[in-house]
Chains A and B, each alone.
Chain A
Amino acid sequence: MAQPTTDTWSIFDVIGPVMVGPSSSHTAGACTLGYMAGLLFGHGLQSATLHLHGSFGEVYEGHCTDVAIIGGLLGLLPHDGRIATAYDLAEAAGISITLKPCHLGAEYHPNTVKFDLQGNDKRMVIVGSSLGGGKIAITEIDKIPVRLTGAYSSLVICFDEGQHSLMDFLKFAMEEGLDPVKTETYSYKNRIILDIEIRQWFESAIIEQITSRFDVKWVRYLNHISHYDQS
């Protein structure tokens, strides 16, 4: 039975995204997945291995799925015409790309990509799926099951159990005048990913403060991806 979605749908997701063709799931959604993975990895990407599962692995060439994912990794959004030149852009940026069609297992959505991202002494393995009509969800980060959809702006913090508590971060956010709307915690073994939904835009200085004040693995700010924007 197809799972009814629990995500919110704006009318701009339905009559949209405004995008460069040819496929909303295999091009636009793929691009957004790359974009989210790029944000999660942060600076210093040197190599990316893209494991393409299911329909992604079967038909990626025809839909430019690989091109779109790489464009996204480089920070381009689905309506950006530069996506078509993503391989050149990656080469110019010194990022090596490897493609591997694969089968991750029946439990994965048929349009799934597993990113193995490396650079600057860091490595991150991120799994995400393109859900149709350009919608996406990041479902795993370094084996930690998560659900990040880009539907809202959030502060994502990764740390080890025992180091800090949810309250430490919430208190910090409040002190900084941020307005946390909702939190979600995800864990695998003793590692925790905390997703704090924040409505307003905030300065990257806050990220630096968190990194210096707390003992965290990493912190990222993910800006909400809206299909309302079209240029």
Chain B
Amino acid sequence: MSSRQFFSAAKLLQLIAQHDDLTTIADAVLAAEHELTSRQPTEIRANMAIRLTVMRDAISQSLHNPARTKSTLSGGDAKRMHEHTPEHNFLSPVMHRATQYALAVMETNARMGKIVAAPTAGSAGIVPGGIIALQEEWHMTEDQCVDGLLTSAGIGIIIAHNATFSAAKGGCQAEVGVSTAMCSAALSAMRGLSPERCLNSASLALKNMLGLACDPIAGLVEAPCVKRNAIGVAHAMTSAEMSAAGITSNVPFDEVVEAMNNVAANMHANIRETSKGGLAVTPTGKRITKMIFGKNLGTALAKDTPPTAEPSAQHSCHYSQA
């Protein structure tokens, strides 16, 4: 029997075409994981279902929490979005819900709460935000959500093998970019699109994230990360909807991943998780950094620099547990 592992979208589609027992990406992902680890599909699904629970807990921990994090860079935005219910909303109900959930997961992450990296912690809000909002708004079953997670894992596996999830190597396209592709494919699968259409929505999402800088202020996974997840899930939904409308990416998924790799190779280290470029070195970014760490990372500090908070002890961790 030939191997059911896949390292490219082309191989994934080929496997699905060749095997009668595989019709969806989720099926193929289960078969590959079973071959890799000998775990039974039922065990794998059950474990994924527990991850959904961890994701829901991460959402509920912050959805109604108005508190700012210790750094004061984030916190309370999930609640703000949740309570924002204007008569006319640019976002559809499912998209509006997804953005709240993405914010909530990321706020929980910033408070050192428990989350599921998907594929990383900095991008942990997008996949659960999309899947769980879709479940609630469109009344999907838990099994459909697990199928969604499996589909997103399949997209992630292809990227992991051919590019990277490391922002230190590939910038934020490797985190938020990748997770929008994963989420978009998951949502497409949950609404019943074909494997080709799922991969196509992943292509549309990832293409629009190529070159995204990783430039977190003060090195904290908060600004821009938290809000970037909310906009990221909306981006994933837009891609999925375009794919459902029959809009096709000119460049197939495998080549988009190659492009991502190529862009990563051309990215300056300053915008690859070193906090030496982009938003991190704006006057505001520097001022906040100084305020948080009592450390002057640059020369051009804004004039209104507030009195330095007590310089952090070298050993302290800047996250509150509360």
Q: Do A and B bind each other?
A: yes
What residues of B have a CB within 8 angstroms of the CB of A15 in the complex?
48, 51, 116, 118-119, 127, 149, 152-153, 156
Which of B51, B112, B114, B121 gathers the greatest number of chain A CB atoms within 10 Å?
Answer: B121
A230 to B109, CA, bound (A): 16
- Knowing A10-B37, A12-B47, A22-B221, the reply to whether A61 touches B318 (Cβ < 8 A) is yes
User: B139 to chain A: closest CB distance in Å?
Assistant: 23
What residues of B have a CB within 8 angstroms of the CB of A133 in the complex?
117, 119-120, 160, 165-166
Contact B121 A24 (CB under 8 A): yes
A24 to B109, CA, bound (A): 10
Could you say which of B114, B115, B161 contacts A5, with CB atoms under 8 Å apart?
B161
B296 within 8 Å of A by Cβ? no
A28 within 8 Å of B by Cβ? yes
A76 within 8 Å of B by Cβ? no
A153 within 8 Å of B by Cβ? no
B201 within 8 Å of A by Cβ? no
Which of B37, B47, B117 gathers the greatest number of chain A CB atoms within 10 Å?
Answer: B117
Contact B160 A9 (CB under 8 A): yes
User: A28 to chain B: closest CB distance in Å?
Assistant: 6
A39 within 8 Å of B by Cβ? no
Contact B168 A110 (CB under 8 A): yes
What residues of B have a CB within 8 angstroms of the CB of A79 in the complex?
114
Chain B residue, CB-CB nearest to A21: B109
Could you say which of B120, B127, B219, B261 contacts A2, with CB atoms under 8 Å apart?
B261
B245 within 8 Å of A by Cβ? no
User: B222 to chain A: closest CB distance in Å?
Assistant: 8
Chain A residue, CB-CB nearest to B222: A22
**Total A-B residue pairs with C-beta atoms closer than 8 Å?**
206
B232 within 8 Å of A by Cβ? no
Which of A81, A99, A131, A133 gathers the greatest number of chain B CB atoms within 10 Å?
Answer: A133
A64 to B221, CA, bound (A): 11
User: A102 to chain B: closest CB distance in Å?
Assistant: 14
Chain B residue, CB-CB nearest to A17: B117
Contact A54 B127 (CB under 8 A): no
Interchain Cβ contacts under 8 Å between A and B, 20 examples: A2-B264, A11-B29, A11-B150, A11-B154, A15-B152, A15-B156, A16-B51, A18-B114, A19-B121, A20-B112, A22-B110, A22-B319, A23-B221, A62-B221, A62-B275, A64-B318, A87-B315, A109-B166, A111-B168, A230-B54
Contact A132 B169 (CB under 8 A): yes
What residues of A have a CB within 8 angstroms of the CB of B117 in the complex?
16-19, 24, 28, 133-134
Which of A59, A99, A110 gathers the greatest number of chain B CB atoms within 10 Å?
Answer: A59
What residues of A have a CB within 8 angstroms of the CB of B127 in the complex?
15
B189 within 8 Å of A by Cβ? no
A34 to B255, CA, bound (A): 36
Chain A residue, CB-CB nearest to B315: A87
Contact B113 A109 (CB under 8 A): no
A54 to B165, CA, bound (A): 17
User: B144 to chain A: closest CB distance in Å?
Assistant: 15
Contact B164 A230 (CB under 8 A): no
Contact A81 B160 (CB under 8 A): no
B167 within 8 Å of A by Cβ? yes
Contact A5 B164 (CB under 8 A): yes
Kindly identify, within residues 1 to 46 of chain A, every residue whose CB is under 8 Å from any CB belonging to chain B.
1-2, 4-5, 8-25, 27-28
What residues of B have a CB within 8 angstroms of the CB of A25 in the complex?
120, 166-168, 273
Chain A residue, CB-CB nearest to B153: A11
Chain B residue, CB-CB nearest to A57: B274
What residues of A have a CB within 8 angstroms of the CB of B114 in the complex?
18-21, 79, 81
Contact A61 B219 (CB under 8 A): yes
A77 within 8 Å of B by Cβ? no
A183 within 8 Å of B by Cβ? no
Contact A59 B33 (CB under 8 A): no
A59 to B221, CA, bound (A): 10
Q: A19-B117, A62-B216 are in contact. List 13 more A-B contacts (CB 8 A).
A: A1-B261, A1-B265, A8-B36, A15-B116, A20-B115, A22-B222, A23-B122, A28-B121, A55-B274, A59-B216, A131-B164, A228-B39, A230-B50
User: B7 to chain A: closest CB distance in Å?
Assistant: 9
